[in-house]
Every structure is written in C-alpha cells, then in structure tokens.
C-alpha cells in the first residue's frame, strides 16, 4: 500500500480473490471492521508502523492466512478480529495490547 494512503474504509477488500500479501503504509493507524473478510488467498500480513487498532471481523474467513506480524504500537484488538482462520498456527500478541474483545480468535483452531 502506498505511503500516501492514510486511511482505509470498512470492508474495502472484502472477498478479494487474488489478494495474497498485504503490507500497510506507515500512516495507517486502524484496520477497520471487515477489511479483509473472506479474502481466501490472503497468506501473509505485516501490520507494522503506527497501527494501534484492529477492528472486529477484520480478517474473518481468511482461511489461507498463515503469517501475521502485528505492530509494536498495537493497543486494541476487537472481538472476532481473527475469526475462522483455519491456517493460522501462531499469533503473538504484543505487550502493548491493553484491550481485547471477546473471542478474538473464535473458530481458529490452531491458535
């Protein structure tokens, strides 16, 4: 994502079939609700930079997702953010996270 992008909208990549890797601009601070719902080819995400919040259902149904690198600035992970991700085997939550919603990894059996 270009460094000029400072904000993305809810559900913006919902159901993108060919999206397999995402690396965010340093200016983005929030991953909005449902941003990557059902992006079935998404395998890797790097949430570096200033991302402080992952809203609910952000990665729901990203069944191929295996690798997630979370921002060291991350403070909030809302409910069901990593819901129904069968391929995810490891999720390290930074010590900077102070608020988590219920079931952030609901129906994600390997985490």
Say what the pTM is.
0.90
Predicted local distance difference test score (pLDDT) of residue 50 = 86
Give the burial class of 60: count Cβ atoms within 10 A of its Cβ; 0-12 exposed, 13-18 middle, 19 or more buried: buried
Query: How many Å apart are CA 11 and CA 107, to the nearest integer?
Result: 20
Encoded tokens for 11:
């559900």
* Residue 7 backbone dihedrals phi, psi, to 5 degrees: -155, 145
Query: How many Å apart are CA 67 and CA 6, to the nearest integer?
Result: 24
Q: What is the pLDDT of residues 74-84, one digit of tens each?
A: 999 999 999 99
What are the C-alpha distances in Å from 102 to residues 40, 55, 75, 98?
Answer: 23, 12, 15, 13
Query: How many Å apart are CA 24 and CA 83, to the nearest integer?
Result: 21
Q: What is the pLDDT of residues 17-56, one digit of tens each?
A: 999 988 877 888 999 999 999 999 999 888 877 899 999 9
What is the band of 109 on the pLDDT scale with cuts at 50, 70, 90?
confident
């Amino acid at each position: 994502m270009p460094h000029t992008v400072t904000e993305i909208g809810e559900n913006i990549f919902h159901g993108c079939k060919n999206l397999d890797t995402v690396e965010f601009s340093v200016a983005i601070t929030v991953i909005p609700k449902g941003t990557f719902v059902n992006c079935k080819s998404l395998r890797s995400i790097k949430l570096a930079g200033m991302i402080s919040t992952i809203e609910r259902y952000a990665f729901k149904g990203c069944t191929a997702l295996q690798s997630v690198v979370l921002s060291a600035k991350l403070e909030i992970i809302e409910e069901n953010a990593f819901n129904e991700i069968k391929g995810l085997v490891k999720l390290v939550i930074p010590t900077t996270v102070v608020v988590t919603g219920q079931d952030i990894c609901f129906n994600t059996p390997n985490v």
